[in-house]
């Protein structure tokens, strides 16, 4: 097919939107019009995985899974010696997530294949649409663990041994799901990895832009913190004699917030989990467990934030006579994506006439780890008020269609080496 005809090819925005609406049934939060709770390897995730496998097989793709449950749906190319061009993201969501984070990228990959199938086009490279297990890290820490195993950042055993709050391991949840495969994660090469995702922030919408050409992802560090004091009777223990773990944890929370504000426009800090024990209204807590998420575009910035956190812990221990442990859980350094993949994305965006800018991602994505083993790049579309990890997360059909068309045209260009 001539480059012109390929350049004129477009996805079916209507079919993509229909698939987004159809799969929103899996994990829909009752009483909300868009909220999603599709925790990794839950019944809802298993259901959407089965839907995805059937939809891929319906257009002639062969589907395999690896030993951490990642799904690889492959369409052959004309040159079987070439590694596949991957289009990946994730089907799992946060507990109060939306219907576009992750799944937009997976279904846009399916739509790209459906479009090639309808047009009778065979690419040089095989095309592989990937659903990475446990991108969110909401059930099993860390986030992006399956793409991390694929890239060699984590061992398979370490990942499968991670437990959720009920003590269930990822390996047990995977065995129960029926999606434990034979292939060793990372067992095959990727020629490139493209990921379409909602921005999950306010920049594109605020600037009235249609596409983000994502140059990389900022650094992320996760910690578990335990604050131990002494449980005591609410009615008989004088305040000056208490070693109240919740009071100390609350002071620490204020310090973490100040650290997030220390480098405006760059530093971010979040406490997502904060649990006091024993959790009785007339017993002062003896223990508080919390999580800390620090983010910054540069490593020195992250180091400064971590040093400030450690100083705050030292000071509170001395002042309030409590014991505070800080356990690093995950460290994801800032990553830059591949120039050739990014130029294919930018060229496709220009050719399609969409307004755009280059930008760094505040959120982590599986592309962080695929970038370690394959040329990788990402495409953003705006989302309403930049809201995500929230049941109000929303985009328009046109935004989904624009992102998927950039994905299609960038992959076709990259396949032909048009931007090399
Ligand atoms: O944590 C993140 O940024 C991603 O949503 N997993
Ligand atoms: Mn995501
Ligand atoms: Mn997410």
Question: What is the structure's pLDDT at 419?
Answer: 56
Query: Rounded to an integer, what distance in angstroms lies between the CA atom of residue 66 and that of residue 10?
Result: 32
Structure tokens at 268: 């971010």
CA distances from 352 to 6, 355, 410 (A): 13, 9, 10
**Ligand 3 centre distance from Cα of residue 389 (Å):** 6
Which parts of the chain sit beneath pLDDT 50?
Answer: none
* Residue nearest atom 6 of ligand 1, based on CA coordinates: 136
Residue 352 sits in the same domain as residue 298:
no
Our answer on whether the CB atom of 101 is closer than 6 Å to any ligand 1 atom is no
Based on the fold, state whether residues 264 and 318 are members of the same structural domain. yes
Q: How many angstroms is it from 364 CA to the middle of ligand 1? A: 4
Beta carbons within 10 angstroms of residue 298's beta carbon: 14
Compute the distance from residue 191 Cα to the ligand 3 centre, in Å: 25
Atom of ligand 1 nearest to the CA of 389: 5
**Using an 8 Å Cβ cutoff, are 215 and 367 in contact?**
no
Which of 30, 69, 272 is CA-nearest to residue 180? 69
Ligand 1 contact via 219 beta carbon (within 6 Å): no
> Closest-lying ligand to the alpha carbon of 295?
1
Structure tokens belonging to residue 315:
């000071």
192-198 and 85-89 beta bridge pairing = parallel
- Secondary structure of the chain in HEC code, one letter for each residue: CCHHHHHHCCCCHHHHHHHHHHHCCCCECCCCCCCECCCCCCHHHHHHHHHHHHHHHCCCCEEEEECCCCEEEEECCCCCCCCCEEEEECCCCCCCECCCCCHHHHHHHHHHHHHHHHHCCCCCCCEEEEECCCCCCCCCCCCCHHHHHHCCCCCHHHHHHCECCCCCEHHHHHHHHCCCCCECCCCCCCCEEEEEEECCCCHHHHCCCCEEEEEEECEEEEEEEEEECCCEECCCCCHHHCCCHHHHHHHHHHHHHHHHCCCCCCCEEECCCEEEECCCCCEECCEEEEEEEEEECCHHHHHHHHHHHHHHHHHHHHHHCCEEEEEEEEEECCEECCHHHHHHHHHHHHHHCCCEEEEEECCCCCHHHHHHHCCEEEEEECCHHHCCCCCCCCCCHHHHHHHHHHHHHHHHHHHHCCCC
148 lines ligand 1 (CB under 6 A): no
End residue of a domain, out of 332, 355, 383: 332
Q: Ligand 1 pocket check: which of 199, 364, 366, 378 to mutate, most ligand atoms within 8 Å of Cβ?
A: 364
Judge if 16 and 100 occupy the same domain.
Answer: yes
Give the Cα separation of 86 and 27 in Å (integer). Answer: 26
pTM: 0.94
* Tokens at 39, concatenated: 């925790």
> Same domain for 400 and 262?
no
Size of the chain, expressed as the number of residues it contains: 420
* Closest ligand by atom to 39 CA: 3
Q: How far is the CA of 35 from the centre of ligand 3 (A)?
A: 13
Nearest ligand (C-alpha, residue 94): 3
The answer to whether the CB of 143 is under 6 A from ligand 1 is yes
Q: Cβ(137) to ligand 1 under 6 A?
A: yes
Q: Which residues of 231-270 are buried (b: 16+ CB within 10 A; e: fewer)?
A: bbeeeebeeeebbbbbbbbebbbebbeebbeeeeeebbbe
Domain count, the chain: 2
- Report CA(140)–ligand 3 centroid distance (Å): 13
pLDDT, tens digit, for every residue of 78-111? 998 999 999 999 999 999 999 999 999 999 999 9
CA–centroid distance, 304 to ligand 1, in Å, is: 22
CATH code at 95?
Answer: 3.40.630.10
**Are 393 and 345 found together in one domain?**
yes
Residues 279 and 354 in one domain: no
Residue 274 Cα to ligand 3 midpoint, Å, equals 20
Q: What is the pLDDT of residues 371-415, one digit of tens each?
A: 999 999 999 999 999 999 999 999 999 999 999 999 999 999 999
Residues 121 and 171 both lie in one domain: yes
Give yes or no for a contact between 228 and 322, defined as CB atoms under 8 angstroms apart: yes
96, 136, 223, best to mutate for ligand 1 pocket (most atoms within 8 Å of CB): 136
Ligand number nearest CA of 222 is 1
User: Residue 8 sits in which domain range?
Assistant: 3-218+334-416
From the CA of 137, how far away is ligand 3's center (Å)? 9
Alpha carbon distance, N-terminus to C-terminus of the chain: 19
Task: Report d(CA 240, CA 266) in Å as an integer.
Answer: 39
Looking at 291, 312, 332, which one is the last position of a domain? 332
Ligand 1 pocket, 135 CB below 6 A?
A: yes
* 119 shares its domain with 35: yes
Report strand pairing: 287-296 vs 268-270: antiparallel
Rg (CA), the chain: 23
Distance 364 CA to ligand 3 centre (A): 8
Instruction: Please check whether residues 353 and 304 belong to one and the same domain.
Output: no
Domain final residue pick, 332, 363, 389: 332
Domain match, 116 and 257 both: no
Ligand 1 lined by 363 (C-beta under 6 Å): yes
Q: How many Cβ atoms sit within 10 Å of the Cβ of residue 304? A: 16
Ligand 1 touching residue 306 (CB < 6 A): no
Same domain, 165 and 91: yes
> Residue 5 has what pLDDT?
82
Return the pLDDT at 3: 62
Q: Are residues 22 and 112 in the same domain?
A: yes
Task: Find out whether the beta carbon of 366 lies less than 6 Å from any atom of ligand 1.
Answer: no
Q: Return the residue whose CA atom lies nearest to atom 1 of ligand 1.
A: 364
CATH of the domain at 304: 3.30.70.360
pLDDT at 39: 98
Does ligand 1 have an atom closer than 6 angstroms to the CB of 136? yes
Check pocket membership of 102 for ligand 1, CB cut-off 6 A: no
């Amino acid at each position: 097919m001539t480059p012109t005809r390929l350049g004129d090819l477009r996805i079916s925005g209507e079919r993509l939107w229909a698939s987004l609406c159809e799969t929103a049934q899996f994990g829909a939060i009752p009483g909300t019009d868009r909220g999603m709770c599709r925790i990794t390897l839950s019944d809802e995730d298993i259901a959407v995985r089965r839907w995805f496998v059937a939809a891929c097989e319906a257009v002639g793709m062969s589907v395999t899974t690896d030993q951490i449950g990642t799904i690889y749906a492959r369409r052959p190319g004309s040159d079987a010696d070439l590694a596949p061009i991957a289009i990946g993201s994730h089907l799992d969501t946060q507990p109060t997530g939306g219907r576009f984070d992750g799944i937009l990228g997976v279904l846009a990959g399916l739509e790209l294949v459906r479009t090639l199938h309808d047009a009778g086009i065979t690419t040089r490279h095989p095309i592989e649409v990937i659903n990475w297990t446990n991108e969110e890290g909401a059930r099993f820490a860390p986030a992006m663990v399956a793409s991390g195993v694929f890239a060699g950042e984590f061992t398979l055993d370490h990942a499968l041994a991670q437990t959720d709050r009920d003590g269930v391991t990822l390996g047990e949840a995977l065995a129960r799901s029926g999606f434990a495969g034979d292939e060793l994660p990372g067992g095959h090469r990727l020629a490139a990895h493209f990921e379409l995702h909602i921005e999950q922030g306010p920049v594109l919408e605020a600037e009235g832009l249609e596409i983000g050409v994502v140059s990389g992802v900022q650094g992320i560090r996760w910690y578990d913190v335990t604050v131990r004091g002494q449980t005591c009777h609410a009615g008989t223990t004088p305040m000056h004699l208490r070693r109240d773990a919740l009071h100390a944890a609350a002071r620490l929370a204020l310090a973490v917030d100040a650290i997030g504000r220390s480098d405006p426009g760059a530093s971010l800090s979040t406490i997502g989990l904060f649990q006091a024990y024993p959790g009785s209204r007339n017993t002062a807590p003896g223990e508080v467990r919390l999580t800390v998420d620090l983010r910054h575009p540069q490593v020195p910035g992250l180091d400064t934030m971590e040093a400030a956190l450690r100083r705050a812990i030292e000071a509170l221990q001395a002042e309030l006579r409590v014991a505070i442990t800080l356990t690093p859980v995950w460290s994801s350094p800032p990553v830059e994506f591949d120039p050739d993949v990014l130029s294919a994305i930018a060229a496709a965006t220009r050719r399609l006439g969409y307004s755009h800018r280059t930008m760094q991602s505040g959120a982590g994505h599986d592309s962080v780890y695929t970038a370690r083993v394959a040329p990788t790049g990402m495409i953003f579309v705006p989302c309403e008020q930049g809201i995500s990890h929230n049941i109000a997360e929303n985009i328009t059909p046109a935004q989904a269609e624009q992102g998927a068309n950039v994905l299609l045209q960038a992959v076709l260009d990259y396949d032909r080496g048009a931007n090399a």
